[in-house]
Structure 1
Amino acid sequence: MSVQCQQVLPQSSIGKALAYSIKRWDKLSAYAHSGILLPDNNKIEDSVRPVALGRKNYLFAGSHKAVRQSAMLYSLLGTCKLNNINPQTWLTDVIRKSLIIL
């Protein structure tokens, strides 16, 4: 990589990127040696995407109460997803049980 760094202008975008990478090479390549680290953060990005979309949609929820209720539902459905539970099956079961209690 240092050979490529010498072939580009230091102030160019690629020159800056190569210099950044060379200075941090041990940390950038740590995932290759550990076996448990991943080279990207796609799982985290995917898990927070609904929150970001929800935040945008909350602007049009109509009231603070509606926003709280929507956030609660997002949280419950997100928990289902993380635990490999079918949200429709879970929600049907919860509603059925709550009707029995009433």
Structure 2
Amino acid sequence: MLRIPGKGDLAKAFRYGLSCWPSFELFLGDGRVGIDDNTAERVMRPISIGRKNWLFAGSDSGGETLSRAMSLVETAKMNGLYPQAWLAEILDRIHNHMTNPLNEPLPWNWTPMN
């Protein structure tokens, strides 16, 4: 029986592969599961790029405001909306909006006015 050194790079690679085995079996057994997380990484890219820009937001509260706005934009995108149109209409409607149905303007409940 051939053996490889336990602390070598090849042994580390084998250990890594074996630790990922349950995920690999899930990928093979369910065609809906992607082998990589490129979609999630593409969604997060604007946030990580924005993080560098938020350093220059002027103040802590400016950075917090910017991060809230980015959260709204990304949530609108995740719900299949064009963020600029959604925000424009929400800001236009908000002065007449009652506080009781507060969930109506949220991206997952939004219906555009025509």
Q: Same fold by TM (over 0.5)?
A: yes
Task: Classify 1:95/1:26 alpha carbon distance in 2 versus 1 (closer, same or farther; 3 Å).
Answer: closer
After TM superposition, the structure 1 stretch with the greater mean CA deviation from structure 2, 33-42 or 65-74, is: 33-42
Q: Which has the higher helix share?
A: 1
User: Unaligned stretches of 5+ in structure 2?
Assistant: 98-114
- What is the one-letter code of the residue matched to 1:36? R
CA distance in 2: counterparts of 1:25 and 1:79, whole angstroms: 31
Rounded Cα–Cα distance in structure 2 between residues aligned with 1:33 and 1:21? 20
Residue pair 1:80, 1:86 contacting (<8 A) in 2 also = yes
Distance 1:100 1:82 in 2: 26
After TM superposition, the score normalised by the length of structure 1 is 0.69
Query: What is the aligned residue count?
Result: 92
RMSD: 2.7
Q: Is 1:36 aligned with 2:32?
A: yes
Distance 1:76 1:17, change over 3 A: same
Given the two structures, how large is their TM-score scaled by the length of structure 2? Answer: 0.63
One of 50, 55, 61 as aligned partner of 2:51: 55
1:23 to 2:18 alignment: yes
Does the 8 A contact of 1:21 with 1:28 survive in 2? no
